[in-house]
Structure 1
């Protein structure tokens, strides 16, 4: 089977490797679609993702597909089932798993390397999707499940004002979910003019860049700020524009070698709360339910559909990623 590897030094290769054989508890899935995540870009640029990166590694983890084979101990799936996969395995018995903190599992590892024709995750990492949900949309389940966890942490109250930095795929989904949470005003902060228009289309009340926000934030008490970029400048600015008693969620994956500086006195006098969100504990099923409901617009977020062979150029120049969500088309089934 074919698989797309990051091999180090900003190099990507498509390799022919031995086709996976499912273990007793595994589900073999023919991958239909896999999203290109900012974490994949971090890895390609030699940075760590959710875990340390030691190349060569198969990229991708936001995947959906069709079951083609199951292990003899599998009871919930059969060939032909349409599914999405949670790529993050937890052992269930370490001290963090025993507390329900499975995203901090000491034995956590990835089990759905989606830049490949097939994956073989354990049954507990596989989720059925309804016939009404197409497989391309179902590939959004993993990033959406991470968003669901992040929003759980800050618990947005109805009638509040929310600012969101960045209108990539994460920001685009967040705008819509925040609107459904009952926020009265949503402000998107983004530099790309086309994305500012998309922000309004997706439900933002105000769409400005990171300079313009400095002219308006003092007249608005921003209750929540969500930073989806992982940029030190916008993370620092998020603390500046946050209002009294505000909650800040640093959702974007930052550079592990760059520290974020904040004004402690400013944070103190506003009584700020800063949250970070790590992975997607127990939120995949809810993400699939949200996608199945049809309330989210994912079609207008997708900027390109690429193949295993040509996604290497995208990792290098990010031409389509700057415009929206890049989807890797494997089998392409819907």
Structure 2
């Protein structure tokens, strides 16, 4: 089979021919049909944060969906032909966190991101079978949508809450979508440009603000929301945005940090203390949240499909990957390993 590998910082991904994978006990082999390119893929290969940089010659691609083509011993739920997506990590499968569907917190956590390939092996216990109404592209959207769902769940939104979402990339758009689904009152999105305003509104935002030089985001947001936000979701992962979120949120409000900032950052704790706010950091998702996303798509709430702006082949992936390192009109680029 063919698969894309991260060689080292400064070099583009390389597509290599490697042996076809075989399933072990409790595992299945997927024929990958779609895999999305994520911003964290870019962060983990740019070298700006050595602690988060992938080892050389690593596979990557964690937003994938595919078809089961082989099953290993002790596989119980899945059969050849089943369409599935899967968590891109595993745990021991036996501890309390694994049994609760949260292997990301297992002491034996292992990454399993290998979706930029024709085939991949995954553990059956971290898979979600796709409903018949979902396409493979829908399946590959489940992972980024689960990131937003997890953050909104941690934000503890109440019906009618005023919400500010900082960042209009896929994670920010997912946060908007779920905030609307759980009954937020008004939702305002903000970003550094208006490139994704229409997408943000399509996902459920009521307003979109872009502060000009010297303008105060807190004032702009409060004006658009008819009051300061009850909850602020930081979804851009850039330096100084946690401080910005603290500045914007109402007293005794909530700040949820979904952005994946990999450089040192700082804020003044007294600014948060004085407001008595709660700051919640969020990472990944549970298997139950994966399944919930699939069920919501199955119910017809498929607005996130609009996030997909391009589709590329495995051969075109290295160039498409590097192109996303600069400001782009793309939102979610899907890799189809079988596209010629």
- Fold agreement, TM-score > 0.5: yes
Question: CA 1:293/1:100 → structure 2, altered by over 3 Å: closer, same or farther?
Answer: closer
Count of matched residue pairs: 330
Cα distance in 2 between the residues matched to 1:304 and 1:246: 38
**1:159 is matched with which residue?**
160
Shift in Å, 1:197: 2.9
Distance 1:68 1:100 in 2: 24
Give the distance between the partners of 1:190 and 1:19, measured in 2 at CA: 43
| Alpha-carbon shift at residue 96 of structure 1 (Å) | 5.5
Residue 316 of structure 1, CA deviation: 1.8
Assess, with a 3 A threshold, how the Cα gap between structure 1 residues 155 and 131 changes in structure 2: closer, same or farther.
Answer: same
What CA deviation, in whole Å up to 9, does each residue of 1:269-312 have, x standing for no partner? 21111011122123211121122222131232111111222221
Comparing 293-302 with 90-99, greater Cα deviation is found at 90-99
Structure-2 change in CA distance of 1:201 and 1:278 (3 Å): closer
Are 2:282 and 1:277 equivalent residues in the alignment?
yes
What's the counterpart of residue 66 of structure 1? 67
Conserved 8 A contact 1:26-1:120: yes
The corresponding residue for 1:329 is 336
**C-alpha contact (below 8 Å) 2:162/2:230 kept by paired residues:** yes
Structure 1 residue 233, shift from structure 2 partner: 2.5
Q: Which residue of 1 aligns with 2:83?
A: 82
Structure 1 residue matching 2:242: 3-state secondary structure: helix
Query: For the structure 1 residues 316 and 52, does the alpha-carbon distance in structure 2 shift closer, same or farther, using more than 3 Å as the test?
Result: closer
* Residue 100 of structure 1: how far off its partner (Å): 7.2
2:241 maps to 1:238: no
The match for 1:304 is 310
Distance 1:198 1:26 in 2: 37
Asked whether the equivalents of residues 33 and 331 of structure 1 are also in contact (C-alpha less than 8 Å), the reply is no
Contact kept in structure 2, 1:44 and 1:315, CA below 8 Å:
no
SS of the equivalent of 1:164 reads strand
Question: Once superposed, which parts of structure 1, at least 4 consecutive aligned residues long, lie more than 3 Å away?
Answer: 47-52, 92-102, 319-322
Residue aligned with 1:121, SS = strand
Q: Secondary structure at the match of 1:72?
A: coil
CA drift of 1:36 comes to: 0.6
Q: Are 2:185 and 1:180 equivalent residues in the alignment?
A: no
Matched, 1:138 2:142: no
> What are the ranges of 5 or more consecutive residues in structure 1 without an aligned counterpart?
none
TM-score, scaled to structure 1: 0.91
CA contact under 8 A between 1:112 and 1:121: conserved in structure 2?
A: no
**Alignment partner of 1:316 is 2:317:** no
- Name the structure 2 match of 1:9: 9
Task: Name the counterpart of 2:120.
Answer: 119
Change (3 A) 1:197 1:231: same
User: Contact 2:45/2:54 (CA < 8 Å) preserved in 1?
Assistant: no
Q: How does 1:166-245 map to 2 (within 5 A)?
A: 166-211=167-212, 212=215, 213-217=217-221, 219=223, 220-245=227-252
Judged with a 3 Å threshold, the aligned counterparts in structure 2 of structure 1 residues 186 and 266 are, in CA distance, closer, same or farther, namely same
